Amino acid sequence: MPWLALLVLTAFLAALPVWAQSTVPPPPPPQSPKVPSGLPKAVAEPANPGAYGSPVPATPTGPTAADRGPAQKHFVLASETDDLEETQVPDNKFMSASQKTAFDKRIRVPLIHDIQDDANYVGMDNHALAFEIEYLNWGAVTSEQLQARRGHYFTITWVNGGPKADFTARFEYRQVKSQAIVRTLYQAMPQVHGATRSYFGVVGKAYLTYGPVCSWRFSILKGDTVVAQTHSFVW
């Protein structure tokens, strides 16, 4: 009798896939894609010649003469020429007028360092000065950029030993070729306490036209009062 049970089991297993397939529902019939019944009517673009401007010129992607390196961004720079007769009046009017002064012994100017970024500068055989000029010229690629950075740079170290306060650094200077003409640069120095630096430079066209600085005076103002001052020997 065991063989009979084995025969029945074999027949059951053979019929099982057919039964399973018959119990699975058939997939739904594919749906036909929807076809639009009609397209919107084409509308012509209205005639408007003014809507299309002239082509915009491409912005130059290369460096320009106005680019400043990591050193120049700290400096207050005079880079353009001016009318000598007009400059004489506003820059020299305070030379004859008395200025409010109240010198503060706690404010002093211990160091003034200047360097000329010029191919004819006699200090180029000094490695330290040569490196400083390379730093001033860092990033300049074209001849226009190098010409724009030619100049006379002043780094002025001064100290406020008193309480923290707002000051204005003023740099007055004369140049070789413009002789007695006095020009002035200002730099705001907010909340100064301890040692700090002020940076001034005469570069580009102003330097190439009027030459290097031949005399200067540096003043520290608190409001409209001069609280510290120093100047070159020939001032």
d(CA 80, CA 90): 17
Is the model more confident about 20 or about 126?
A: 126
Quick one: DSSP state of residue 176?
T
Q: What is the pLDDT of residue 231?
A: 95
Task: Report the candidate in 171, 165, 179, 178 with the shortest Cα–Cα distance to residue 223.
Answer: 165
Considering only CA atoms, give the Rg of the chain.
41
What's the number of CA atoms in the CB half-sphere (13 Å) around residue 73?
Answer: 6
Q: What is the mean pLDDT of residues 98-125?
A: 84
Q: Which of 23-37, 58-72, 147-161, 172-186 shows the lowest per-residue confidence on average (mean pLDDT)?
A: 58-72
Q: What is the pLDDT of residue 79?
A: 85
Is the model more confident about 148 or about 36?
A: 148
DSSP run (H or E) holding 206 = helix 204-210
Q: What is the pLDDT of residue 56?
A: 67
Q: How far is CA 10 from CA 6, 18, 20, 22, 54, in A?
A: 6, 14, 16, 20, 88
pLDDT over 80 (residue 163): yes
Tokens of 184: 């002035």
Q: What is the pLDDT of residue 33?
A: 72
d(CA 149, CA 67): 9
Q: Could you give phi then psi for residue 208, rounded to 5 degrees?
A: -65, -30
Is the model more confident about 204 or about 32?
A: 204
What's the number of CA atoms in the CB half-sphere (13 Å) around residue 228?
Answer: 18
d(CA 34, CA 60): 52
Quick one: DSSP state of residue 42?
P
pLDDT over 70 (residue 3): no
Is the model more confident about 53 or about 181?
A: 181
pLDDT over 90 (residue 193): yes
Domain 72-231 falls in which CATH fold? Answer: Coagulation Factor XIII; Chain A, domain 1 (2.70.50)
Q: Which of 78-87, 121-130, 174-183 has the highest mean pLDDT?
A: 174-183
Q: What is the pLDDT of residue 74?
A: 86
Q: Which amino acid is at 226?
A: V
